[in-house]
Amino acid sequence: MSDTAGALQHPWPDLRMQRAGVSLGMWMFLASEVLFFGGLLVSYAVYRSFNEEAFRIAGAHAQIVYGSINTVILLTSSFTMTVALRAATANVRRVTLIFLGITAALGVAFLVCKGLEYREDLKEHLFPSPQFPLSPPATAMFWGFYWIMTGIHAVHLTAGIAVVLVVWTLFKRRVIPVQGSTMEGAAIYWHFVDSVWIVLYPLLYLAGRS
Amino acid sequence: MTDAALPFVPPLDVRRGSYLDEGHTILSWLTTTDHKRIAILYALSITVFFLIGGVAIGLVRLELISPTGLFLTSDEYNRLFTIHGIIMVWFFLVPSIPATMGNFLVPMMIGAPDVAFPRLNLLSWYLYVGGAVFTVYVLLSGGVDTGWTFYPPFSSEYSHSNVIPAAIGVFIVGFSSIATGVNFLATIHMLRAPGMTWFRLPLFVWSMYTVSVVMVLATPVLAMSLLLIVAERLFGLPIFDPSAGGDPVLFQHLFWFYSHPAVYIMILPAMGVVSEVFACFARRRVFGYGFMVFAMLMIAVVGFMVWGHHMFVAGQSPLANLIFSFLSFIVAVPSAIKVFNWTATLYRGHIGFEAPMIYALGFLGLFTIGGLTGLFLASVPIDIATTDTYFVVAHFHTIMVGGTVSAFMAGIHYWWPKVTGKLYNEFWAQLAAITMFLGFNLTFLPQFIMGWLGMPRRYHYYPDVFQIWHVLSSGGAVILAAAYLMPLVYLTWSLFCGQDAGNNPWRSTGLEWQTPSPPPKTNFLRPPRVDADPYDYHDFGRTEETGGEARARPQGEA
Amino acid sequence: MNISQFTTAASDYAVKVDRLFYLESVIAGLVVLLVTGLIVVFFALYYRGSSTPRGEVPERKSREIEIGWTVATLFSFLFLFWWAASDQLTALAPPKDALEIHVIAKQWMWRFQHPSGAREIDELHIPAHTNIRLAMTSQDVIHDLYLPALRLKQDILPDRYTYEWFNATKTGTFHFTCAEFCGTDHSVMAGSLVIMKPEDYARWISAQPQADDLAHQGEALFRSFGCSGCHTPGSTVHAPDLHGIYGHAVQLADGRTVTADEAYLRDCIFLPDKNRVAGFPPLMPNFSGSISEGQANALIAYVKSLTTNRAARTPNASPGQRGGSPP
Amino acid sequence: MTNGRQQDRRYLWQGPGVAWLALLVLFAVSLGSAYLPLGTGNVAINLAIAAIMLAVLATFLMDLRNSVALVRIAAAAGLFWIVIMFALTFSDFLTRG
């Protein structure tokens, strides 16, 4: 408990306020992120409502096995992240470090899986180009969304993994105490990346299954 | 004006112990997390970009003296007005008041030692610089010719210029405003001094609060729309490609979802600044404080619902035109209320005619004209006739340049003694303020007229019947340019040769003035406590000669 | 060039727009006068050091003032909205009998096709006192046909039709130009609108170089592109018959029902898979790239000219199952 | 002391564990329902389940349940503005005719 003082940063008067502040700041950033993906989602919704059939045809070509495995991986990582956060708040250092480690590993597993999936997609020329195999033309639109959405999500996840690893290192070397507000921010962000995937999954993988 | 320091502010030697003394090396500035120093970094950077954007439009106005051009090719012309738009919007106007005065003053006005996340604040400046690097690269490598609006399919398929780096530059600088917005919101929510309740916040802080909401929620949509353009241009992902069923009008929806609220990002802070200036120089409480706050909140929220009035001729459905027209009329109501309230603030005041007040009055006049012509453009039939003509150009310049830049200047002059501890030359400042107002009107009134007559915007060559108006406008631009350069000279001069300002030369009751000027690193010598409403000038007014009551006292002394 | 080529209000609608503009100008002028007047008066009375007595404004009174001008502003804005909206709505629906002229915009020129088949570039002749409807599309980027004398403006998009309609009342030569930034020569993408007396127009159009009218050109194209191979009643390939299709509802394979207008027919040529008709296999080849916008206009005009009368001659033609028997 | 310690440890994973299982079940239902031929119903079900999953995630894993009102307002703001964006954008696209 002695290291709580080291967690307090300028200009906050006390740690409780600081934690609330970081959490608030993080949530406001997420509201911003929601609108960022919102621009993408509204475009998807407009085009899908006018190209029902094309999106169904195109959606049937998404790799549902990889997509589903990845969904399970991310949901699990959210669970491990929550455990890590609770452990950090309770100042249980060892558990915090272990579960942070698992979370980062799951994140990496997601990216590996995603990479394999991309390889399959490219093998089938599903990246819009003159060799694109599907028709009507709006199927290319679906795949445009596929690459942009999963790509942006992967970038967000990579950033999340980097944050988790940095936090892990700082905790491990006792640069900052686990009880500070850092964990709070990292956890909220990680869950957000998971939330995005929860929305993308049905849009990209479940279209055209029936 | 003599030093009218309030009784409890220790008469410090101005220079010693101020935030300016915290380090004199360039590195100390580049690594600072002090909100006041970051404000100065921003002020210097946006000044540089204001000058670049100004040179670009100077060349354009020179070229337009002749209907057949003087020295530019059409491509060069198109690149110049595009770079003018990109730089002035994203590298000057959007960060202008929030990132400089907002950064400097928000913590001081609420009695906080710094913003909530000082390192994020520094990061936001570096993001700005990152975006700036791309933009300068665009400039040096031949420019971009899409107009600042980046409409596809021109930007995604047909333009042969540097669309991608330009879009990336804007994308990056967008995150700088998101960071600033998040920071201000957290600061205003969490770090108010004891006694600083929500309805004791100065209107400038309210304006920063509302503008932050807009920045945080609108900017990401711009980022996404630009990202989609880059994806289409770079990788051929057909999001707006009409031949794959894409709709270029969808891009316009996304773009204006940001870019209309962006107008409020530019004007809300200006409203905050002039509220402070009017109160101080009329020595009067701002008339209808509650309504002023409510009006700003209304503008911030309803401002998100009017973007479609940029698209009345774009191929939007007639019903959508009707809805957006209605909402645009509604959003004009709070702006009108504000104009009336500022005017009424003068009633029964003790009005002074110092330079900041002249700039603020210039704002009021131009904002009124700009706002009223906004009603024209909210009316669908008139908008159809005048959109994409100089009428629109004149309208939004009247708001964004006439309004915002006048208010920016008012703020610079009002808080100059606070920031630097020096007084500028009042005569030159008044002269510059009046010149700016006259120059502005001479530049843009002809543009209103020729726009209504039918002169389209973004035209390199134009029918010679419009030449007289273009010549007048270019003449006005020369005066305007002179008026913009004058402050640069006399303000710089005052840094070295100016009179010491004392702590509170305007005898303002604002909390930011109840501390030495320039302020110490921690902003206040002792943590402040607030026990009165803002703009408590009334007693002050009556006892003009004896000095007034302060609204805040250091804790423990009250 | 004369400024009247821009400023003349050459239609009843333009006169209405001007009236609204002047109304708003007067209101704006009054508000500016009011605000400046108050500022001047307040400065004169309450200049610092002046001896005018000052006191507090009672709280209640200031709230009343505040509510008063809020409500007044709101109602005057609603009034303006009502006026503008009614002008907008009455001008909305194009009349059915309008003379239809096809407009194709491209970097950086205008092409017009009259119903008779006559073509013009950067110049448009039209009869006065006639309802004219412009059906416009672009071959590349977004353009905008701005007709200052008619106070009209409408963006022109690639792969889509947009429309402008008017009934000109004044004859003369007027200016038109592009109002949506479209690249290098945007500023010279202009031309003249010649509004003629109807009888002069009739004379002018008959004096045009003899060209088949649009529908006849379309008929020739219909054969030369091989459309007739499938889209003829009794053809062995199972394709929809096109007689009487224009303006009628079509049942699509994905369950939607759309009206067969120009945009739909155009999509059928360039994006055949987008709106597949129910009950037909996806056999139609994609003609984007091989058929130009101008040729598409002719084809569409031809399809529009195929009336139901001829379709009635073929037996078994019922809505939703047009065309011959399955192979 | 040891007992209390263990109670602590269980608190770390118990609540989140339940939420995690709930998410996995919801995911399975969503995946399974996608293969039923329901037409537009498929999209509706998938999106509804996604919304429930987001709610579970936000409430129990992101601990929105226990956060201050302010944080909940920030989260709601994102949703409110996205509704504005959808409503007004579709006011154009659905009435183009």
Give CA separation, C278 vs C94, C319, D41, in Å. Answer: 31, 11, 21
pLDDT of residue C326 exceeding 50, the answer is: no
Cβ contacts (< 8 Å) between A81 and chain D: which residues? 61
Cβ contacts (< 8 Å) between A38 and chain B: which residues? 220-221, 224
pLDDT of residue B15 exceeding 50, the answer is: no
Residues B319 and B321: their CA atoms lie apart, in Å, by 5
What's the mean per-residue pLDDT of chain B? 91
pLDDT of residue D70 exceeding 50, the answer is: yes
Side chain identity at residue B203, one-letter code: L
Strands B499-500 and C99-106: unpaired
Instruction: Decide which of D13 and B447 is more confident.
Output: B447
Q: From the list B217, B227, B236, which residue is nearest A35 (CB)?
A: B217
Contact check, Cβ <8 Å, D20/A79: yes
Q: From the list B189, B221, B317, which residue is nearest D92 (CB)?
A: B317
Give the model confidence (pLDDT) of B341-375 as tens digits. Answer: 999 999 989 999 999 999 999 999 999 999 999 99
Give the model confidence (pLDDT) of B305-334 as tens digits. Answer: 999 999 999 999 999 999 999 999 999 999
What percentage of chain C exceeds 70 in pLDDT?
91
Domain of A67 in residue numbering reads as 14-205
**pLDDT value at residue B30:** 95
Nearest CA of chain A to the CA of D29: how many Å?
A: 12
C44 touches chain B (CB under 8 A): no
Task: Count how many domains chain A has.
Answer: 1
Nearest CA of chain C to the CA of A204: how many Å?
A: 20
Instruction: Decide which of C234 and C160 is more confident.
Output: C160
**pLDDT value at residue C224:** 76
Bond into A136 cis (ω within 30):
yes
* Band of pLDDT at residue B550, cut at 50, 70 and 90: very low
Q: Are A21 and A12 in contact (CB under 8 A)?
A: yes
D34 touches chain A (CB under 8 A): yes
Residues B386 and B267: their CA atoms lie apart, in Å, by 23
Cβ contacts (< 8 Å) between A141 and chain B: which residues? 238-239, 244-246
Identify the closest residue of chain D to A41 by CA–CA distance: D86
Contact check, Cβ <8 Å, D89/A42: yes
Find how far residue A104's CA is from the centre of its chain: 12
Task: Classify C66 in phi/psi space as left (phi over 0), alpha (psi -120 to 50) or beta.
Answer: alpha
Q: What H or E segment, with its residue span, contains residue B327?
A: helix B318-345
Nearest CA of chain A to the CA of D95: how many Å?
A: 12
Q: Are A194 and D57 in contact (CB under 8 A)?
A: yes
Give the model confidence (pLDDT) of C45-71 as tens digits. Answer: 999 888 888 877 788 888 899 999 999
Contact check, Cβ <8 Å, C274/A52: no
pLDDT of residue C320 exceeding 50, the answer is: no
Contact check, Cβ <8 Å, B227/A152: yes
Judged by DSSP in three states, B219 sits in: helix
Cβ contacts (< 8 Å) between B456 and chain C: which residues? 146, 177-179, 187
Strands C131-138 and C99-106: parallel
Instruction: Decide which of B26 and C294 is more confident.
Output: B26
Cβ contacts (< 8 Å) between B243 and chain A: which residues? 137
- For residue B22, report the phi and psi dihedrals to the nearest 5 degrees: -75, 0
Give the model confidence (pLDDT) of C204-227 as tens digits. Answer: 988 887 666 777 788 777 877 777
Find how far residue B505's CA is from the centre of its chain: 25
Side-chain-facing half-sphere of C277: CA atoms under 13 Å: 23
Taking the CA atoms of B142, B147, B148 and B153 in sequence, report the sign of the dihedral they define: negative
Averaged over B205-222, what is the pLDDT? Answer: 96
A150 touches chain C (CB under 8 A): no
Nearest CA of chain B to the CA of A138: how many Å?
A: 5
Q: Are C51 and B544 in contact (CB under 8 A)?
A: no
**pLDDT value at residue B544:** 41
Contact check, Cβ <8 Å, D86/A45: yes
Question: Which of 107-166 (B) contact A at CB < 8 A?
Answer: 107, 112-118, 120
pLDDT of residue B556 exceeding 70, the answer is: no
pLDDT of residue B10 exceeding 60, the answer is: no
How many of the other CB atoms lie within 10 Å of CB of B202? Answer: 26
**pLDDT value at residue C322:** 34
* Band of pLDDT at residue C245, cut at 50, 70 and 90: confident
For B84-136, the DSSP string reads HHHIIIIIIIHHHHIIIIIHHHHHHHHT-SS-S-HHHHHHHHHHHHHHHHHHH
Cβ contacts (< 8 Å) between B305 and chain D: which residues? 84, 88
Instruction: Decide which of B466 and B11 is more confident.
Output: B466
Bond into A11 cis (ω within 30):
yes
A30 touches chain B (CB under 8 A): no
Residues B396 and B209: their CA atoms lie apart, in Å, by 23
Interface of B with D (CB under 8 A): 189, 213, 217, 221, 249-250, 253, 257, 304-305, 307-308, 311, 316-320, 323-324
Cβ contacts (< 8 Å) between B112 and chain A: which residues? 11
**pLDDT value at residue A137:** 84
Give the model confidence (pLDDT) of B517-535 as tens digits. Answer: 899 999 998 889 998 888 8
What percentage of chain A exceeds 90 in pLDDT?
70
C154-189 burial: b if 16+ Cβ within 10 Å, else e: bbbbbbbbbebbbbbbbbbbbbbbbbbbbbbbbbbb
Give the model confidence (pLDDT) of B400-435 as tens digits. Answer: 999 999 999 999 999 999 999 999 999 999 999 999
D77 touches chain B (CB under 8 A): yes
**pLDDT value at residue C269:** 80
Contact check, Cβ <8 Å, B237/A42: no
Identify the closest residue of chain C to B362 by CA–CA distance: C36
Asked: is C214-313 a CATH 3.10.105.10 domain? The reply is: no
Cβ contacts (< 8 Å) between A54 and chain C: which residues? 273-274
**pLDDT value at residue C286:** 75
Assigned token pair, A155: 């970038």
DSSP classification of residue C235: -
Residues C116 and C126: their CA atoms lie apart, in Å, by 12
Task: Give Cβ neighbours of residue A39 (< 8 Å, ≥ 6 apart).
Answer: B220, B221, B223, B224, B225, B228, B254, B257, D85
How buried is B121 (Cβ within 10 angstroms: 0-12 exposed, 13-18 middle, 19+ buried)?
buried
Cβ contacts (< 8 Å) between B257 and chain D: which residues? 85, 89
Residues B499 and B485: their CA atoms lie apart, in Å, by 21
DSSP classification of residue C146: E
Side-chain-facing half-sphere of B25: CA atoms under 13 Å: 3
pLDDT of residue A1 exceeding 50, the answer is: no
Q: From the list B282, B343, B458, which residue is nearest C35 (CB)?
A: B343
pTM recorded for the entire structure:
0.89
Contact check, Cβ <8 Å, C271/A54: no
**pLDDT value at residue C306:** 76
Residues B487 and B393: their CA atoms lie apart, in Å, by 26
What CATH code is carried by the domain that includes residue A46? 1.20.120.80
What's the mean per-residue pLDDT of chain A? 91
ipTM of the complex: 0.90
**pLDDT value at residue B554:** 41
D68 touches chain B (CB under 8 A): no
pLDDT of residue C73 exceeding 80, the answer is: yes
Cβ contacts (< 8 Å) between A210 and chain D: which residues? 34-39, 42
Residues C232 and C239: their CA atoms lie apart, in Å, by 8
pLDDT of residue C9 exceeding 90, the answer is: yes
Contact check, Cβ <8 Å, A54/C273: yes
Nearest to B404 by CA among B272, B292, B303: B272
**pLDDT value at residue C307:** 67
Scan for tokens 């009021």, then name that residue: B364
Question: Which of 68-107 (A) contact D at CB < 8 A?
Answer: 68, 71-72, 75-76, 78-79, 81-83, 86-87, 90, 92, 95
Nearest CA of chain C to the CA of A146: how many Å?
A: 20
Q: Are A164 and A2 in contact (CB under 8 A)?
A: no
Find how far residue A59's CA is from the centre of its chain: 21
Give the model confidence (pLDDT) of C255-293 as tens digits. Answer: 777 888 888 888 888 777 777 777 777 777 777 777 887
Per DSSP, helices labelled H in C214-261 are 214-224, 227-230
Identify the closest residue of chain C to A136 by CA–CA distance: C273
**pLDDT value at residue C258:** 80
Q: How far apart are the first and last CA of chain A?
A: 56
Domain B30-241+251-554 in CATH: superfamily? Cytochrome c oxidase-like, subunit I domain (1.20.210.10)
Contact check, Cβ <8 Å, B217/D81: yes
Topology adopted by domain C1-55+93-211: Immunoglobulin-like (2.60.40)
D90 touches chain A (CB under 8 A): yes
Give the model confidence (pLDDT) of A27-73 as tens digits. Answer: 999 999 999 999 999 999 999 998 888 999 999 999 999 999 999 99
* Band of pLDDT at residue C305, cut at 50, 70 and 90: confident
- Ranges for all domains in chain C classified under CATH 1.10.760.10: 214-313
Averaged over B146-162, what is the pLDDT? Answer: 93
Contact check, Cβ <8 Å, C153/B373: no
Instruction: Decide which of B235 and B16 is more confident.
Output: B235
Residues B372 and B394: their CA atoms lie apart, in Å, by 12
Contact check, Cβ <8 Å, C273/A51: no
Identify the closest residue of chain B to A29 by CA–CA distance: B182
D7 touches chain B (CB under 8 A): no
Assigned token pair, C153: 């403006």
Judged by DSSP in three states, B168 sits in: helix
Contact check, Cβ <8 Å, C6/B315: no
Nearest to B300 by CA among B335, B260, B261, B255: B261
Cβ contacts (< 8 Å) between B38 and chain A: which residues? none
Nearest CA of chain B to the CA of A10: how many Å?
A: 8
pLDDT of residue B549 exceeding 50, the answer is: no
Give the least confident one: A9-23, B118-132, C75-89: A9-23
What percentage of chain C exceeds 90 in pLDDT?
50
Give the model confidence (pLDDT) of A82-100 as tens digits. Answer: 999 999 988 888 999 999 9
Question: Which of 227-266 (C) contact B at CB < 8 A?
Answer: none
C290 touches chain B (CB under 8 A): no
